[in-house]
């Protein structure tokens, strides 16, 4: 059919993957259209994910820090929480960033079509236009014709089928809306998102329970790291229910009554009643909602779209990036994938052979739980090394020996680096402690560059900093590698 708009590259979805791809493609000289159903660019990450959660976590960590100061002779008294103002602060943070994105799109002459997009052919996408702050349809339709497409439609929170419809049962988006502070809150799913939101609510005054099917919280991280977080955070929780399934929920006047079952045949914990239940049991990709079949793009049963290292789907001129192509569902992964897709496309359309060979070949993608303390890890974990039979040398530096950590009154953490036993090259690392997330990038860089324990240990880190612990951990490992020159 006839098209209303024509472009080199259509980007479906304006999240971190989508806007990064669009901006790179525009910078390389291509005409770009972003189709996004919401009023703002930024996707989940900026609007209802990474950024608002960190705005609230920052406030929570300052509150906790101030409480710690009591031991140092400084007492500010009990905090007064003005929830409307706090919500306003968070919204302002988000607005600053999404406003910035809109300007950057304008500067690059990237066209934004506001609406719900669905493929109608191999080179066309139909958009049902939306308006307002949500996604109310206006009834108007636009057809966009494209030479290449990048699917960046992201993911959404999973809902348990037996959960009743009730404002006291929320997903992460609902929790970030910060309607109020509950007395008793259940975090359903012991992953990063649930534990971050739990940290915020507990500092604001809520008592927490957490329920997790598996045998530990914060899966993916080594248990020694998680243990430090868990010990510090135990006072926030009334019940930590591991190896436990949530099997039912009933809305009552007193709250949401939730029932549990042991996941390994043990005794079931007693049912509990909560003022707020946060469902944080994972996210599912939006692959089945974009008319992919009309373009011939294959979607898996679970809704993911498979791609090669150039981000190409089974249809050679259609690419996909971000949460929709698989784990880990992280913004920094989506951004890098977006750049690759844009470069490959620009290379092909502009006849630049070098660009056309762009590929995603990052060795590692860091993970961070922005809890208090933070838990960060990258590359091989100790558990994985064990499972894969990789022989490693470990260098562990306890923060109890870090001048800065002690000066900060926060010496519970440690820095751990893992080196290949024969090459002494770094293969992974984990940090637990305040600002761990800000530090893990150095470990990722070392892995990307193939650094060994001498390279890291001999790098002069400023004193006294928490980052010093990375050099120290390398020296510890080096000391135990007898055959290192
Ligand atoms: P998304 O951000 O999901 O963007 C997809 C966009 O596509 C959305 O704006 C959506 O409206 C739009 N869209 C979808 N379908 C259509 C359609 N048919 N038509 C038009 N538009 C459509 N990651 C981190 O790295 N660090 C963090 O600290 C972090 N914290 C998080 C905290 C929370 C509470 C949550 C929920 C997530 C967090 N994440 C974090 C994950 C991060 O938000 C995602 O990995 C990231 O947003 C994925 O980017 P994306 O571009 O793939 O998709």
Among the listed residues 325, 322, 321, 316, the one whose alpha carbon sits nearest the alpha carbon of residue 348? 316
Chain mean position to CA 349: 32
Residues near 284 by beta carbon (within 8 Å), at least 6 away in sequence: 155, 156, 158, 302, 303
Distance CA 109, CA 20 (A): 14
Strands (DSSP E) contained in 152-281 are 155-157, 169-170, 184-188, 207-211, 237-241, 244-252, 255-262, 272-274, 276-279
In tens, the pLDDT along 306-353 reads 999 999 999 999 999 999 999 999 999 999 999 999 999 999 999 999
In tens, the pLDDT along 356-399 reads 999 999 999 999 999 999 999 999 999 999 999 999 999 999 99
Among the listed residues 233, 223, 227, 232, the one whose alpha carbon sits nearest the alpha carbon of residue 201? 233
pLDDT of 199 over the 90 cut: yes
Q: Are 356 and 336 in contact (CB under 8 A)?
A: no
Where does residue 400 rank: exposed (0-12), middle (13-18), buried (19+ CB within 10 A)? exposed
In the predicted model, what is the mean pLDDT of residues 104-112? 98
In the predicted model, what is the mean pLDDT of residues 173-178? 98
In tens, the pLDDT along 30-87 reads 999 999 999 999 999 999 999 999 999 999 999 999 998 999 999 999 999 999 999 9
Strand order in the sheet with 374-379: 367-369, 374-379, 426-433, 414-420, 392-398
Predicted pLDDT at 181: 97
Tell me the CA–centroid distance for residue 204 and ligand 1, in Å.
26
The share of the chain scoring above pLDDT 70, in percent, equals 99
In the predicted model, what is the mean pLDDT of residues 156-183? 97
DSSP string, 373-406: SEEEEEE--HHHHHHHT--EEEEEEEGGG-HHHH
Predicted pLDDT at 133: 86
Tell me the CA–centroid distance for residue 162 and ligand 1, in Å.
25
Q: Are 322 and 13 in contact (CB under 8 A)?
A: yes
Question: Distances from the Cα of 306 to the Cαs of 60, 380, 429, in angstroms?
Answer: 39, 24, 29
pLDDT of 100 over the 90 cut: yes
Test site for ligand 1: of 331, 342, 375, most ligand atoms within 8 A of the Cβ? 331
Average per-residue pLDDT for the chain: 96
Residue nearest to atom 18 of ligand 1 (CA): 117
Question: Which residues are tagged catalytic?
Answer: 463
pLDDT of 483 over the 50 cut: no
The share of the chain scoring above pLDDT 90, in percent, equals 97
Q: Count of CB atoms within 10 A of residue 232's CB?
A: 17
For residue 332, the ligand 1 atom closest to its alpha carbon is: 25
How far is the first Cα of the chain from the last one, in angstroms, to the nearest whole number?
70
Distance CA 416, CA 287 (A): 38
Tell me the CA–centroid distance for residue 429 and ligand 1, in Å.
27
Which SS3 state, helix, strand or coil, does residue 28 take? coil
pTM summary value: 0.97
In tens, the pLDDT along 140-154 reads 999 999 999 999 999
* 474 φψ region: left (φ > 0), alpha (ψ -120 to 50), beta (else): alpha
Predicted pLDDT at 480: 59
Q: Judging by DSSP bridges, how do beta strands 5-12 and 32-36 pair with one another?
A: parallel
Distance CA 14, CA 11 (A): 8
The continuous run of DSSP H or E covering 130 comes out as: strand 124-131
Q: Judging by DSSP bridges, how do beta strands 414-420 and 426-433 pair with one another?
A: antiparallel
Q: Decide: 221 in ligand 1 pocket, CB within 6 A.
A: no
Predicted pLDDT at 2: 86
In tens, the pLDDT along 395-424 reads 999 999 999 999 999 999 999 999 999 999
Distance CA 368, CA 238 (A): 25
Give the CA angle between residues 265, 269, 275 to the nearest 5°.
Answer: 140
In tens, the pLDDT along 239-293 reads 999 999 999 999 999 999 999 999 999 999 999 999 999 999 999 999 999 999 9
Q: Decide: 380 in ligand 1 pocket, CB within 6 A.
A: no
């Amino acid at each position: 059919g006839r098209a209303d708009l024509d472009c080199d590259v259509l980007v479906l979805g304006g999240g971190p993957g989508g806007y990064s791809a669009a901006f790179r493609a525009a910078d390389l000289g291509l005409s770009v259209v972003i189709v996004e159903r919401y009023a703002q660019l930024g996707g989940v990450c900026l609007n209802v994910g990474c950024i608002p959660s960190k705005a609230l976590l920052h406030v929570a960590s300052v509150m906790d820090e101030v409480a710690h100061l009591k031991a140092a002779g400084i007492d500010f008294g009990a905090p007064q929480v003005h929830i409307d103002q706090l919500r306003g602060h968070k919204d302002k943070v988000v607005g600053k960033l999404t406003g910035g994105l809109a300007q950057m799109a304008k500067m690059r002459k990237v066209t934004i079509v506001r609406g719900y997009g669905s493929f109608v052919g191999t080179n066309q996408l139909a958009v049902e236009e939306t308006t307002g702050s949500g996604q109310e349809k206006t009834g108007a339709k636009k057809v966009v014709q494209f030479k290449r497409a990048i699917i960046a439609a992201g993911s959404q929170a999973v809902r348990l089928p037996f959960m009743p419809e009730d404002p006291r049962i929320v997903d992460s988006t609902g929790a970030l809306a910060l309607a109020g502070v509950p007395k008793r809150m259940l975090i359903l799913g012991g992953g990063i998102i649930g534990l971050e939101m739990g940290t915020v609510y507990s500092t604001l005054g809520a008592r927490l329970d957490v329920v997790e099917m598996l045998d530990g919280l914060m899966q993916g991280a080594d248990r020694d790291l998680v243990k430090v977080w868990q010990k510090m955070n135990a006072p926030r929780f009334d019940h930590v229910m591991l190896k436990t399934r949530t099997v039912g929920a009933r809305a009552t006047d007193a709250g949401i009554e939730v029932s549990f079952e042991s996941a390994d045949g043990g005794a079931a914990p007693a049912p509990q009643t909560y003022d707020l239940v946060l469902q944080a049991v994972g996210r599912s990709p939006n692959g089945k909602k974009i008319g992919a079949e009309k373009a011939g793009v294959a979607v898996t049963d679970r809704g993911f779209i498979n791609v090669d290292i150039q981000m190409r789907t089974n249809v050679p001129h259609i690419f996909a990036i971000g949460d929709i192509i698989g784990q880990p569902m992280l913004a920094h992964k989506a951004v890098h994938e977006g750049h690759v897709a844009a470069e490959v496309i620009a290379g092909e359309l502009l006849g630049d052979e070098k660009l056309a060979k762009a590929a995603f070949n990052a060795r590692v993608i860091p993970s961070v739980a922005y809890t208090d303390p933070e838990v960060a890890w990258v590359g091989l974990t100790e558990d994985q090394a064990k499972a894969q039979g990789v022989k490693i040398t470990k260098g562990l530096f306890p923060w109890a020996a870090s001048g800065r950590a002690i000066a900060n009154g926060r010496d519970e953490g440690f820095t751990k680096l893992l080196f290949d036993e024969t090459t002494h090259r770094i293969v992974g690392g984990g940090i637990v402690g305040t600002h761990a997330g800000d530090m893990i990038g150095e470990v990722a860089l070392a892995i990307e560059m193939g650094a060994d324990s001498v390279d890291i240990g001999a790098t002069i880190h400023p004193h006294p900093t928490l980052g010093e612990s990375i050099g120290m951990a390398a020296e510890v490992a080096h000391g135990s590698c007898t055959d290192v020159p």
